[in-house]
């Protein structure tokens, strides 16, 4: 029954990584509502900002009223908000529905790890959390493929419709595992949690060696890596003229690279240490962006797949090394703070990327059109400018900070 419970919680939590399918629908949503390319950023921004800002508070609420109850609220709101997204008659309606989806994901993500821990004895918890992480990573790999098929079958709204049955199955299965959860312990109020969190983070940022630097590094990596799922759907559908299904397959390769990097990160960290792994994996992800920057309108499939696979593996390695670094720096009693901090820095990177990359792409296209280029050539002009900026930002940061990372791991 514990395994069944893990699968149910994992199924509900998979609604978050399955949102990756929405990226495949960006071009279709842009065309359906007749909006400018830059306006699509709000579909990502409203969602990410909402769950990123609320997740720590919902975790505190779960400590007080019960994690299973908060998780159930999340599934109910996820089902309702996803229906509203799929039925959106106007673009503003869709944006508001995405905000509600962000609230739902914050409810789910804030309490799902605590539920997994509650179901297993201490000697099985690490393995259970590993399986849970594998389920969510697998969902991220499947999301673009499923999204591509659903767009061809049901239009852009298909990327929302397919998740509704998943939310309902998880919701109606919760009573079957309810008895296997311990009663929640009452914790401090949200105000007290907030105050102690700020004090802990201030002390660690002040005294922790390179702690502020590694958190800024994660923002940079997430910022530059987000250009792949955000921009490539436009390249593949408008330049390469690929179908949504084929586009989803390409992004699934990128997500698979992230999964592979995460899977082998433990072995790499054990061999090289967390500091060197973070530094080297950052450069691997940047090298992947360099390859993408050299794409043409007729780039070969092997070059395309090698580029995004390399970038994904680098991202996956870096994320694990970064999380390991943050957890090691914070007190053992503040693991919740560590998890929230990793979500926060990732969110900051994605928000900045959503604002920056579409602007750079549009600016480059506009300059190309002014120079008399065709629409496809103008797009490629903006595409190359975008990845040049990404390479300069990430490469400049890690070149300047290399001496901070390239040192003997203090834990060896």
The pLDDT value given to residue 281: 94
CA distances in angstroms from 379 to 27, 236, 253, listed in the order given: 14, 11, 23
Same fold, 1-179 and 200-405: yes
Quickly state the pLDDT bin for 198 (edges 50, 70, 90): low
The pLDDT value given to residue 122: 62
Q: Which of 308, 316, 311 is nearest to 263 (CA)?
A: 316
Q: Is the pLDDT of residue 388 over 60?
A: yes
C-beta of residue 263 within 8 angstroms of C-beta of residue 320: no
The pLDDT value given to residue 54: 87
Quickly state the pLDDT bin for 184 (edges 50, 70, 90): very low
Tokens (6 digits) for 391: 């390479």
Quickly state the pLDDT bin for 112 (edges 50, 70, 90): confident
- Cα 315 to Cα 182: distance, rounded to the nearest angstrom: 36
Instruction: State pLDDT tens for residues 202-219.
Output: 666 666 667 788 889 999
Q: Which of 229, 178, 323 is nearest to 17 (CA)?
A: 229
Q: Is the pLDDT of residue 106 over 60?
A: yes
- Cα 70 to Cα 54: distance, rounded to the nearest angstrom: 13
Q: Report which of residues 149 and 80 the model is more confident about.
A: 80
Which of the listed ranges 50-54, 129-133, 145-149, 307-311 does the model predict with the highest average pLDDT? 307-311
Quickly state the pLDDT bin for 366 (edges 50, 70, 90): very high
Tokens (6 digits) for 231: 């921009």
Whole-number percent of the chain with pLDDT over 70: 83
Q: Report which of residues 356 and 341 the model is more confident about.
A: 356
Q: Which of 109, 116, 178, 121 is nearest to 343 (CA)?
A: 109
- Cα 2 to Cα 115: distance, rounded to the nearest angstrom: 11
Q: Report which of residues 192 and 214 the model is more confident about.
A: 214
Q: Which of 25-29, 103-107, 126-130, 156-160 has the lowest mean pLDDT?
A: 126-130
Q: Report which of residues 173 and 61 the model is more confident about.
A: 173
Check the CA dihedral 42-47-48-54 and report its sign. Answer: positive
Instruction: State pLDDT tens for residues 311-352.
Output: 999 998 898 888 778 767 766 555 555 666 777 788 889 889
Where on the phi/psi map is residue 121: left (φ > 0), alpha (ψ -120 to 50), or beta?
beta
Q: What average pLDDT score do residues 291-319 get?
A: 92
Q: Which of 14, 144, 21 is nearest to 85 (CA)?
A: 21
Tokens (6 digits) for 272: 């090289």
Q: What average pLDDT score do residues 225-238 get?
A: 90
Burial classification of residue 119, based on how many CB atoms lie within 10 Å of its CB (0-12 exposed, 13-18 middle, 19 or more buried): buried
Residue extents of the structural domains in the chain? 1-179, 200-405
* Mean pLDDT, all residues of the chain: 83
Distance separating the N- and C-terminal Cα atoms of the chain: 40
Topology adopted by domain 200-405: Growth Hormone; Chain: A; (1.20.1250)
Q: Is the pLDDT of residue 166 over 80?
A: yes
Q: Report which of residues 56 and 379 the model is more confident about.
A: 379
Q: Can you say how many angstroms the Cα of residue 229 is from the centroid of all Cα atoms in its chain?
A: 10
Hey, which CATH number is domain 1-179, 3.30.70.3270, 3.20.20.140, 1.10.260.40, 1.20.1250.20?
1.20.1250.20
Q: Report which of residues 76 and 24 the model is more confident about.
A: 76
Tokens 């409810």 found at: 107
C-beta of residue 314 within 8 angstroms of C-beta of residue 361: no
Quickly state the pLDDT bin for 67 (edges 50, 70, 90): confident
Instruction: State pLDDT tens for residues 33-55.
Output: 998 877 888 898 889 889 888 87
The 3-class SS string of the chain reads CHHHHHHHHHHHHCCCHHHHHHHHHHHHHHHHHCCCHHHHHHHHHHHHHHHHHHHHHHHHHHHHHCHHHHHHHHHHHHHHHHHHHHCCCCHHHHHHHHHHHHHHHHHHHHHHHHHHHHHCCHHHHHHHHHHHHHHHHHHHHHHHHHHHHHHHHHCCCHHHHCHHHHHHHHHHHHHHHHHHCCCCCCCCCHHHHHHHHHHHHHHHHHHCCCHHHHHHHHHHHHHHHCHHHHHHHHHHHHCCCCCHHHHHHHHHHHHHHHHHHHHHHHHHHHHHCHHHHHHHHHHHHHHHHHHHHCCCCCCCHHHHHHHHHHHHHHHHHHHHHHHHHHHHHCCHHHHHHHHHHHHHHHHHHHHHHHHHHHHHHHHHHHHHHHCCCCHHHHHHHHHHHHHHHHHHHHHHHHHHHHHHHCCCCCCC
């Amino acid at each position: 029954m514990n395994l069944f419970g893990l699968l149910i919680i994992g199924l509900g939590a998979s609604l978050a990584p399955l949102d990756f399918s929405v990226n495949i629908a960006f071009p279709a949503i842009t065309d359906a509502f007749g909006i400018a390319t830059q306006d699509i950023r709000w579909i990502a921004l409203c969602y990410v900002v909402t769950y990123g800002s609320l997740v720590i508070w919902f975790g505190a609420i779960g400590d007080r009223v019960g994690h299973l109850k908060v998780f159930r609220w999340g599934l109910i709101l996820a089902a309702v908000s996803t229906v509203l997204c799929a039925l959106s008659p106007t673009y503003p309606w869709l944006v508001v529905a995405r905000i509600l989806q962000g609230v739902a994901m914050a409810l789910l993500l804030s309490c799902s790890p605590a539920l997994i821990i509650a179901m297993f004895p201490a000697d099985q918890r690490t393995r259970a959390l590993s399986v849970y992480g594998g389920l969510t990573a697998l969902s991220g790999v499947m999301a673009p493929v499923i999204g591509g098929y659903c767009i061809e079958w049901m239009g852009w709204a298909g990327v929302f419709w397919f998740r509704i049955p998943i939310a309902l199955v998880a919701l109606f299965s919760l009573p079957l595992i309810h008895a296997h959860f311990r009663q929640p312990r009452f914790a401090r109020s949200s105000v007290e949690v907030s105050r102690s969190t700020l004090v802990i983070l201030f002390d660690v940022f002040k005294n922790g060696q390179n702690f502020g630097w590694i958190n800024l590094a994660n923002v940079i990596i997430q910022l530059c890596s987000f250009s792949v799922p955000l921009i490539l759907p436009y390249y593949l559908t408008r330049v390469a003229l690929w179908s949504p299904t084929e586009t989803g397959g390409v992004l699934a390769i990128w997500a698979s690279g992230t999964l592979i990097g995460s899977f082998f990160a433990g072995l790499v960290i054990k061999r090289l240490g967390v500091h060197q792994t973070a530094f080297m994996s950052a450069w691997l992800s940047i090298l992947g962006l360099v390859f993408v920057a050299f794409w043409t309108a007729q780039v070969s499939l092997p070059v395309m797949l090698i580029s995004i696979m390399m970038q994904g593996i680098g991202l996956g390695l870096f994320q694990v090394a970064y999380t390991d670094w943050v957890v090691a720096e914070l007190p053992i009693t503040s693991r919740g703070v560590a998890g929230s901090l990793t979500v926060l820095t990732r969110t900051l990177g994605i928000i900045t990327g959503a604002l920056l990359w579409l602007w750079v792409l549009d600016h480059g296209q506009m300059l190309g059109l002014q120079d008399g280029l065709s629409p496809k050539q103008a797009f490629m002009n903006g595409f190359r400018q975008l990845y040049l900026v990404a390479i300069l930002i990430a490469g400049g940061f890690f070149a300047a900070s290399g001496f901070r990372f390239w040192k003997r791991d203090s834990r060896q």
